[in-house]
Amino acid sequence: MRRALVTGASRGIGRAVALELASRGIEVLVNYRERADAAAAVCQDIIDGGGRAIPLGFDVADPQAVAAALAPWVEGPEGIDILVSNAGITADGLFVGMDPEAWHRVLATSLDGFFHVARPLARAMARRRWGRIVVVSSVSGIRGNPGQVNYSAAKAGLIGATKALARELATRNVIVNCVAPGLIDTDMSQDAPEGLLAGVPMRRIGRPDEVARVVAFLCGDDVTYLTGQVIAVDGGLT
């Protein structure tokens, strides 16, 4: 049985990805930062559906916490075959007035968090000659969003990291791709400005499960000659 780690999986897109992967016969490590009860509920949903899931708490922005939590999995006989790097935050505000803390906090979670988690797992995947890494970026990282210079920078950085890492690992059968959601109905998008939907050709907000199915496809055996790509799941926005 393959095993996946999904960061930020206690709710939203991460939760939907965890459920989707589990429904495809993959054991899921359900990462959370604070909401242990929510992560436990996700695991219970998976187990009730006949799947396998284990909650795994750590803050992706904290390198020591990540190393301690991942060590048993990376160094043990049973590794992690699939990483979905999903944890992310926003701290919006116009750039000229942006608090340095808001800049650093967003980059620390999205970009540093990816580095802390993906590096040890990529090394182990390369050793085993099989792996899938899916990075959750955003359309903000492709076209930029006003009021989100920090978030857009972090998400664009993840696209660059995906492309470079895909090239590094291509001969090791470790496939690395990026998914860039548009406006998706989660807690994060509740403060999205009115009128944003008018720019979406499909004229509706996306659902987390619609992102999750694309992520799960990129994690599976059907993807063998596709790496370093950015797939926008955005109702035609980009």
183 binds ligand NAD (CB under 6 A): yes
Nearer to ligand NAD, 10 or 177 (CB): 10
| Count of residues interacting with ligand NAD (CB under 6 A) | 27
Q: Active-site residue 151, yes or no? A: yes
CB contact at 8 A, 183 and 198: no
157 binds ligand NAD (CB under 6 A): no
d(CA 51, CA 6): 15
116: Cβ–Cβ under 8 A, 6 or more apart, which residues? Answer: 60, 61, 62, 63, 66, 67
63: Cβ–Cβ under 8 A, 6 or more apart, which residues? Answer: 112, 116
138 binds ligand NAD (CB under 6 A): yes
145 binds ligand NAD (CB under 6 A): no
Alpha helices in the chain (DSSP H): 12-23, 36-48, 63-75, 100-107, 113-128, 140-143, 149-169, 208-218
55 binds ligand NAD (CB under 6 A): no
Q: How far is the CB of 135 from ligand NAD (least distance, A)?
A: 9
Q: How far is the CB of 166 from ligand NAD (least distance, A)?
A: 19
Region binding ligand NAD by CB under 6 A among candidate stretches 12-20, 42-50, 91-99, 169-177: 12-20
Region binding ligand NAD by CB under 6 A among candidate stretches 46-54, 142-150, 185-193, 218-226: 185-193
Tokens of 169: 């690992």
Tokens of 21: 């992967």
Of 58, 73, 114, 151, the catalytic one is 151
When CB distances to ligand NAD are compared, the closest residue is 12
Tokens of 175: 């496939």
Nearer to ligand NAD, 61 or 122 (CB): 61
66: Cβ–Cβ under 8 A, 6 or more apart, which residues? Answer: 58, 59, 60, 113, 116, 117
12 binds ligand NAD (CB under 6 A): yes
184 binds ligand NAD (CB under 6 A): yes
38: Cβ–Cβ under 8 A, 6 or more apart, which residues? Answer: 10, 11, 32
Nearer to ligand NAD, 108 or 126 (CB): 108
Nearest Cα to Cα of residue 183 among 129, 120, 139: 139
Task: Name which position in 188, 196, 197, 200 contacts ligand NAD (CB under 6 A).
Answer: 188
| Residues paired with 27 in a beta bridge | 3
87 binds ligand NAD (CB under 6 A): yes
Please report, as ranges, the residues that interact with ligand NAD according to CB under 6 A. 7-8, 10-14, 31, 33, 59-61, 86-89, 109, 113, 136, 138, 181, 183-184, 186-189
Catalytic residues: 151
